[in-house]
Structure 1
Amino acid sequence: MNTTLRRAVIATAAVSMALSMAACGKAGGSKSSAADVNTGFRIGLALPENQTTRYEAVDRPAIEAKLHQLCPKCQVDYENAAQNANTQQQQIDTLINKGDKVIILDSVDYKAIQPSVEKAHSKGIKIVAYDRLAQGPIDAYTSFDNTAVGKEQGQALLQALGSKANPKAKIIMVNGDKGDPNAAQFKAGAHSVLDGKVDIAAEYDTNGWLANNANNEVSGAIARIGKDNIAAVYSANDGMAAGIISALQSAHISPLPPVGGQDAQLDGAQRVVAGTQAFTIYKPYKDEADTAAQMAIDVATGKSVSVADTKVSSATTKDIPAKLIPTTIMTAQNVKQTAIDGGLYKVAQICTPQYAAACAKIGLK
Structure 2
Amino acid sequence: MNAIMRRALTGAMAISLAAPLAACGNDHQDTGAGKDSIGLLLPESKAARYEKFDRRIISSRIASLCLECKVDYHNAEQQVDAQKSQFEALVKKGVKVIILDPVDAQAAKSWVDSAAKKGVKVVAYDRLAEGDVAAYVSYDNEKIGRLQGKGILAALGSQAATSDVVMMNGSPTDPNAPSYKKGAHEVLDGKVRKVVFEKDIPDWSAAAAKKEMGDFIDAHGPEGFDAVYSANDGMASGIAAALKSAGIKNVPVGGQDAELPALQRLVAGTQSFTIYKEVRPEAETAAEIAFRLLRGKSIKPLTSATADNKSKSGIPAQLFKAQIVTPKNMKDTVVRDGAVRIDLLCAGLAAECKSLDLE
TM-score normalised according to structure 2 size: 0.88
Q: What is the deviation of 1:359? A: 1.3
Which deviates further from its counterpart, 337-346 or 298-307? 337-346
- In structure 1, give the amino acid aligned to 2:224: N
Q: What is the deviation of 1:124? A: 1.1
Asked if residue 264 in structure 1 is aligned to residue 227 in structure 2, the reply is no
Residue 196 of structure 1 is matched in structure 2 by 190
Judge conservation of contact 1:62–1:289 (CA < 8 Å) in 2. Answer: yes
State the distance in 2 between where 1:169 and 1:110 align: 35
- In structure 2, give the amino acid aligned to 1:340: V
CA RMSD of aligned residues (A): 1.2
Asked if residue 131 in structure 1 is aligned to residue 126 in structure 2, the reply is yes
Asked if residue 228 in structure 1 is aligned to residue 223 in structure 2, the reply is yes
Residue 315 of structure 1 is matched in structure 2 by 310
State the distance in 1 between where 2:358 and 2:238 align: 26
- In structure 1, give the amino acid aligned to 2:146: K
Q: Secondary structure at the match of 1:60?
A: helix
**Residue in structure 1 matching 2:332, options 337, 353, 358:** 337
Asked if residue 277 in structure 1 is aligned to residue 271 in structure 2, the reply is yes
Asked if residue 66 in structure 1 is aligned to residue 61 in structure 2, the reply is yes
Which deviates further from its counterpart, 331-340 or 170-179? 331-340
- In structure 2, give the amino acid aligned to 1:190: A
State the distance in 2 between where 1:112 and 1:172 align: 30
Q: 5+ unaligned residues in a row in structure 1: which ranges? A: 1-38
Question: Which is richer in helix?
Answer: 1
- In structure 2, give the amino acid aligned to 1:177: S
State the distance in 1 between where 2:172 and 2:156 align: 28
- In structure 2, give the amino acid aligned to 1:278: S
Residue 158 of structure 1 is matched in structure 2 by 153
- In structure 1, give the amino acid aligned to 2:275: I
**Residue in structure 2 matching 1:81, options 60, 69, 76:** 76
Which deviates further from its counterpart, 257-266 or 293-302? 293-302
Q: What is the deviation of 1:105? A: 0.3
Residue 288 of structure 1 is matched in structure 2 by 282
Judge conservation of contact 1:249–1:256 (CA < 8 Å) in 2. Answer: no
Q: What percent identity do the matched residue pairs reach? A: 46
Judge conservation of contact 1:174–1:234 (CA < 8 Å) in 2. Answer: yes
Asked if residue 301 in structure 1 is aligned to residue 283 in structure 2, the reply is no
Residue 187 of structure 1 is matched in structure 2 by 181
Judge conservation of contact 2:35–2:96 (CA < 8 Å) in 1. Answer: no
**Residue in structure 1 matching 2:172, options 154, 160, 178:** 178
What do the CA deviations read for 1:95-154 (whole angstroms, capped 9, x no partner)?
112221210000011100111111221221111000001011111111010000000000
Q: What is the deviation of 1:40? A: 6.3
Q: What is the deviation of 1:256? A: 3.0
Q: What is the deviation of 1:237? A: 0.1
**Residue in structure 1 matching 2:343, options 329, 343, 348:** 348
Judge conservation of contact 1:40–1:71 (CA < 8 Å) in 2. Answer: no
Q: What is the deviation of 1:63? A: 0.9
Asked if residue 359 in structure 1 is aligned to residue 353 in structure 2, the reply is yes
Judge conservation of contact 1:201–1:225 (CA < 8 Å) in 2. Answer: no
Asked if residue 99 in structure 1 is aligned to residue 94 in structure 2, the reply is yes
Task: Give the 4+ runs in structure 1 shifted more than 6 A.
Answer: none
Q: Secondary structure at the match of 1:243?
A: helix
Residue 39 of structure 2 is matched in structure 1 by 44
- In structure 2, give the amino acid aligned to 1:208: D
Residue 205 of structure 1 is matched in structure 2 by 200
What do the CA deviations read for 1:228-277 (whole angstroms, capped 9, x no partner)?
23200000000000000000111111x23000000001111111122110
Judge conservation of contact 1:51–1:210 (CA < 8 Å) in 2. Answer: no
State the distance in 1 between where 2:226 and 2:207 align: 22
State the distance in 2 between where 1:340 and 1:300 align: 36
- In structure 2, give the amino acid aligned to 1:193: V
State the distance in 2 between where 1:351 and 1:82 align: 30
State the distance in 2 between where 1:348 and 1:71 align: 36
Q: Secondary structure at the match of 2:154?
A: helix
Q: What is the deviation of 1:67? A: 1.0
- In structure 1, give the amino acid aligned to 2:281: D
Q: What is the deviation of 1:346? A: 2.2
Residue 29 of structure 2 is matched in structure 1 by none
Judge conservation of contact 1:172–1:221 (CA < 8 Å) in 2. Answer: no
Judge conservation of contact 1:127–1:140 (CA < 8 Å) in 2. Answer: yes
Q: What is the deviation of 1:205? A: 0.4
Task: Report how many residues are paired.
Answer: 324
TM-score normalised according to structure 1 size: 0.87
